[in-house]
Structure 1
Amino acid sequence: MGRSSVSRSPASPAPRRHAAAGSWLALLAALLLLWPWAPAFAADNPELLPDHPTPVIDLARALTDGQRAALEDKLDRFEDASGWKLRVLTQYERTPGLAVKQYWDLDERSVLLVADPRGGNLLNFNVGDALFALMPRTFWVELQTRYGNQFYVRDNGEDGAIVAALGAVQTCLERGGCQVVPGLPQEQWLLTFCTSVLGGLIVGFAAYPRKEGDTVAWSWVLLLSPLWVMLFVVFGLGPVVTRTSDWLPVLRNSLGFLGSSLAAYLIAQRTVGKPPVGNAGG
């Protein structure tokens, strides 16, 4: 917008008012985004902490008593077996804040999952430095967006989101690390299937013969290979094989690619690929 408003005349007050309004709106948006988390990190209320050691502090009552007891036992056994410390804090208006760090003695081998429904995403993670060598920052972003989004929480509940996220972390630590979150959600597979079909359509339309006597225009297929390879291999198969060992999604995406290629080839051959009429007799 700044470049399009360049003029020879002196600047008028209107753009300045607009710029000032934009600055205030940006500041207000930043405050609204940071507000839900400000109490969580600025407060220090040790009186909210339990008087006994536990890996789960459920102030928001997101878990049932049975779920909390089972999760406590699971996290304790996992810590004894692996040395990795997984902790859970659910909060709403009340939060112990910084007091949890000393209570749990959080260090570089610790993961703190904070569940707070006041933000746009239920989940937030405080990750020790040692874990970034096994799971990069992109892993934690994907973990948060997959299990903490409002649609997943609506369908599976806050308890389901917490348990699923912790399960993914435990699985990756047992494997020795992950680059991506394991598992392939239905909506993510549909996206990979659509990109595979789109890649097949490009191959099919590229392959129809331009010259009489040709069957496949290989030169055009090779020319457009960066596009369809990216769609089919990188976006169609890549997210599948890195997240699951199940062969069925790979087979479905491959069949979608081949089927759309054949359909596009036949359609193009009968429409745009028809040779011109009237030149046969010279």
Structure 2
Amino acid sequence: MELPQPPVPVLDLADQLTSNQEAQLAEHLNRLEEETGWKLRVLTQFDQTPGRQVKEYWGLNERSVLMVADPRGGNLLAFNVGDAVREILPRTFWIELQSRFGNQFYVREHGTQRAILETVDVLDRCFHQGGCRVVPGLPQEQWILTLLTSILGGIVFGFAGKPRHAEELFNWRWALLISPLWFILFGAFGIGPVITRTQDWLPLVRNILGFLAGALVIYLAPIAQPAAEQQ
């Protein structure tokens, strides 16, 4: 396949971008390479595919990332990542990035163009700040999941702390005994994904309130005792 000369940073063989978007994206990628030394190249393909030809065409090396947008597969996005890049952007980062912007639901709702441009923006941000362990930003559906796990953690905490006799106000012994469960739900799955992906305090506050609400509701809810205990 004959490719444009001199080399351009964007090969839109599938015509997924407008001419203005392609020009702006090319300028963006050139500026990224000048400012950080990391090379990001974008290829869209459908019927036409240059295959391994792009490696020599772009001079891809250990400091390069090739992003391929191909709508024929189950996921729009695929990445070819250099060894040096993997040191600052681990494998889990690429899996999350592909899942967030390349899945069929996102592409169907927002379009291929936005999926490509949003992915480039995330990579630009991570390269400029010296790397990312997770993908920045907290999508609505992911925040809802963290809220639900926070509430569930609160329910477990509140149930464990329910008094077992009249003189007891809160059963700290059981709450501490079951702490690995409610702490994982609230800390690891409820709070962790929020503080690692966004500096916005509102989702964090909502998750904390969700935990407290879940704990309070189950703590105050009357639970009938077995008949043997009532006698």
TM class by shorter chain equals over 0.9
1:273 to partner: Cα distance: 5.8
1:77 to partner: Cα distance: 1.1
What does residue 29 of structure 2 align with?
75
What does residue 110 of structure 1 align with?
64
The letter for the 1-side match of 2:219 is Y
Give the counterpart of 2:87 among 133, 136, 142. 133
Matches for 1:91-240 after TM superposition, within 5 Å: 91-240=45-194
Q: Does 1:272 align with 2:224?
A: yes
**What secondary structure sits across from 1:133 in the alignment?**
helix
Aligned length: 230
* Aligned counterparts of 2:225 and 2:211: Cα–Cα separation in 1: 21
CA contact (8 A) 1:195 1:231 kept: yes
The letter for the 1-side match of 2:111 is G
What does residue 216 of structure 2 align with?
262
What does residue 243 of structure 1 align with?
197
| Gap regions ≥5 residues in structure 2 | none
CA contact (8 A) 1:208 1:273 kept: no
What is the root-mean-square deviation in Å for CA atoms of aligned residues?
Answer: 1.4
Give the TM-score normalised by structure 2. Answer: 0.96
1:91 to partner: Cα distance: 0.2
1:272 to partner: Cα distance: 3.3
| Gap regions ≥5 residues in structure 1 | 1-44
* Aligned counterparts of 2:159 and 2:36: Cα–Cα separation in 1: 54
**What secondary structure sits across from 2:111 in the alignment?**
helix
Query: Larger relative contact order (C-alpha < 8 A, sep ≥ 6)?
Result: 2
**What secondary structure sits across from 2:97 in the alignment?**
helix
Distance 1:79 1:151, change over 3 A: same
The letter for the 1-side match of 2:30 is D
The letter for the 2-side match of 1:216 is F
Distance 1:225 1:65, change over 3 A: same
